[in-house]
């Protein structure tokens, strides 16, 4: 069982074969919940370009490969390799998963006032049964192929509960590393974050495939931010060309809370980011920012949705894309305003620059408004660099390459403005310079 490779085309035949795996985890959700999720997935299968939500994103490249769902735990990662992935954050907490398993020898956890567990441990710990019954899988979209597949196989990731009025001062960097896999590997990563009233936490999430084999990560994250609490989640996506990532993040907010999800995408062969914000109280603020710089034949797809269900709330979406070579970008941002959600203020903007003739972007901002006293705006732009600005810089002795990089950096920079982790801001700036192929000091 541990070495079984599952062919996607024959996935429907695996339900009965996996009864031993499903039976190893005894929480009552898992007994029937995993089987139900797997059966739902088998009935629908993976989305294709005939599905409206995947109209511009072809998954054929990843769904026709064979994957091992149960990675080997063996690895040869050294401290030096891991240090090279850090942001220079000597004082941060860090949580390191290698091939799905939490490695305490590489981790540094000082969050004593909070409740942190690996997801696999939390699943089987009777002391956390109540929390799982209350939160787990309650805000995910159970009609989606990848969320059902995750619910069927999730065993990697973390559970973190920040108690009332606890402020976690240090950002927490969560590393998901894959190495020493002889076969293509499918990781179903699950994260559950509960930030109670008046609490505060900042998470940085990054995935790294250190092999030449293909890795598909199917990640589902549920975030619950309670009254007067603040949650920041930063996704740093800079993996190699044999990595695929499909991410679903669901964030539910209570009154007077603030939640931010920043997504910085520079690497990975195919990346699909799905982000859903759910408002459940007044005076909520939600922020979604994204920077994408890709080239070659990479594809990055951002799908966002904000559900304004209550009055007097605000949401801001600001996504910037720079596309080179034959890369392809997709942005589909939705804002739903319920008829009772008066005094809503929703802002959505997607700006893109195509640097080469082969690059392309499909962008579709959407508003669905059923209230009459709101301020909602959306817009998108697709273009090339401003020739007048280029001429201005060139006339002052700046080379064409450096002038282009300066303009592109300025174009993307405002999507970083609400990062208050200085080392993360510097890291993103350096990645911007690296992708733009210039030397810039920060």
Per-residue 3-state assignment (H helix, E strand, C coil) for 342-375: CCCEEEEEEEEEECCCCCEEEEEEEEEECCCCCE
Query: What element of type H or E holds 408?
Result: helix 400-413
150-207 pLDDT tens trace: 999 998 999 999 999 999 989 999 999 999 888 999 999 999 999 999 999 999 999 9
What CA–CA distance (Å, rounded) separates 277 from 293?
24
Please report where in the chains the tokens 């709330």 appear, as a residue: 313
Strands 158-162 and 115-118, sheet pairing: antiparallel
Task: Report whether 158 contacts 174 (CB < 8 A).
Answer: yes
The mean per-residue pLDDT over the stretch 272-292 comes to 97
Tell me: pLDDT of 387 over 90. Answer: no
What CA–CA distance (Å, rounded) separates 348 from 302?
13
Task: Report whether 423 contacts 89 (CB < 8 A).
Answer: yes
Query: What element of type H or E holds 173?
Result: strand 172-178
pLDDT of residue 13: 43
What CA–CA distance (Å, rounded) separates 115 from 218?
25
What pTM does this model have?
0.92
CA distances from 64 to 6, 61, 247, 275 (A): 11, 6, 19, 25
Q: Confidence class of residue 244 from pLDDT cuts 50, 70 and 90?
A: very high
CA distances from 287 to 40, 276, 305, 340 (A): 32, 11, 12, 21
pLDDT of residue 22: 42
Please provide the average confidence, as pLDDT, over all residues in the chain. Answer: 88
Q: Confidence class of residue 29 from pLDDT cuts 50, 70 and 90?
A: low
- Cα dihedral 428, 432, 435, 439 sign: negative
Task: Report whether 140 contacts 222 (CB < 8 A).
Answer: yes
Please report where in the chains the tokens 């065993």 appear, as a residue: 155
Tell me: pLDDT of 6 over 60. Answer: no
| Structural Rg of the chain based on CA atoms | 22
């Amino acid at each position: 069982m541990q070495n079984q490779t599952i062919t996607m085309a024959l996935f429907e035949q695996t339900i009965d074969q996996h009864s031993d795996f499903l039976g190893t985890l005894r929480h009552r959700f898992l007994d029937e919940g995993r089987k139900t999720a797997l059966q739902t997935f088998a009935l629908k299968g993976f989305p294709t370009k005939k599905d409206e939500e995947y109209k511009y994103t072809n998954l054929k490249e990843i769904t026709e490969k064979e994957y091992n769902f149960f990675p080997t735990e063996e690895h040869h990662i050294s401290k030096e390799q891991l240090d090279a992935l850090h942001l220079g954050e000597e004082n941060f907490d860090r949580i390191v998963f290698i091939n799905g398993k939490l490695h305490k020898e590489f981790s540094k956890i000082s969050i004593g006032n909070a409740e942190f567990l690996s997801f696999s441990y939390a699943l089987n710990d009777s002391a956390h049964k109540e929390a799982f019954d209350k939160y787990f899988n309650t805000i995910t979209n159970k009609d989606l192929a990848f969320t059902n597949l995750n619910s069927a196989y999730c065993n990697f990731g973390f559970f973190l509960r920040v108690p009332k009025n606890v402020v976690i001062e240090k950002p927490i960097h969560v590393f998901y590393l894959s190495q020493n896999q002889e076969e293509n590997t499918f990781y179903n990563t699950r994260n559950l974050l509960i930030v109670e009233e008046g609490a505060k936490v900042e998470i940085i999430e990054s995935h790294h495939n250190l092999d030449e084999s293909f890795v598909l990560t199917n990640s589902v994250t549920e975030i619950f931010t309670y009254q007067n609490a603040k949650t920041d989640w930063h996704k740093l996506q800079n993996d190699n060309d044999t990595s695929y990532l499909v991410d679903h993040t669901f964030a539910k907010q209570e009154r007077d809370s603030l939640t931010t999800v920043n997504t910085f995408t520079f690497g990975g062969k195919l990346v699909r980011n799905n982000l859903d914000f759910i408002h459940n109280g007044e005076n909520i603020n939600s922020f979604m920012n994204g920077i994408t710089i890709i080239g070659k034949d990479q594809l990055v797809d951002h799908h966002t949705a904000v559900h304004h269900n209550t009055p007097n709330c605000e949401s801001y979406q600001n996504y910037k894309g720079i596309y080179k070579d034959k890369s392809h970008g997709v942005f589909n941002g939705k804002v739903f305003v319920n008829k009772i959600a008066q005094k809503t203020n929703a802002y959505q903007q997607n700006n893109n620059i195509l640097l080469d003739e082969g690059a392309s972007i499909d962008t579709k901002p959407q508003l669905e408004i059923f209230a009459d006293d709101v301020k909602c705006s959306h817009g998108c732009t697709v273009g090339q660099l401003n020739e007048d600005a280029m001429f201005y810089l060139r006339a002052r002795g700046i080379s064409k390459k450096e002038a282009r990089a300066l303009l592109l950096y300025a174009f993307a920079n405002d999507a970083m403005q609400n990062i208050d982790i200085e080392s993360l801001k510097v890291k993103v700036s350096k990645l911007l310079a690296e992708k733009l192929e210039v030397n810039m000091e920060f």
